[in-house]
Structure 1
């Protein structure tokens, strides 16, 4: 247990950053999953999103409406969901970040299952500086084929 706390302004900045990451977490999860569904199934449907995210149809619909307003997705009633160019860019960024973290954790000896689970949470909260260090570490510690 520390004998002294960090400066209150520094600590407040840390917590503020975490709260901000929580705000974008849902957006990133939905956009990344939509991209994956389109890649594998050639379409993304509301029912698939709700099932894979473990939420109700109504919750997924509410989030999709917000994503439309924010310019990440487009759709028409009873049709597939599509990513806008902004949504595609965000999905690619999220997928790259996830893969860097996954590779790093696996390079440490973490099982693939645990690494996938942990990467899903870490990817929304990692700084660019730390992400670059993970990437460099993984490149330096690649196992020869």
Structure 2
């Protein structure tokens, strides 16, 4: 596994703590606990443009794509955006593919919009599709 950088949770802005705690719950995976960090009308746009409105959507998709997967959260960037407070979480995925082959160093970036202490929007990108293609001998 890629060596994790120590994040100082106590130094994170409140919106980044909400995102961090959501990601921790989603990695268990505990989609019901993860949902407590999200608004009722949340829109989650997952890899490949899949749209969900509850954390059970990404959890179900991940269960098909990976035997298991975790995030090595490296950085949180917080800014005021046109939509509200925007939080970017960047780092690496690690885990196992369904065939049991381990992987690490798979880049991810998640973009969140946080309003009134809840995540209202989430966009997810990572390198998993490219890694799957490369493993099958298909170079993009």
TM-score, reference length from structure 1: 0.28
Higher percent of residues as helix = 1
TM-score, reference length from structure 2: 0.28
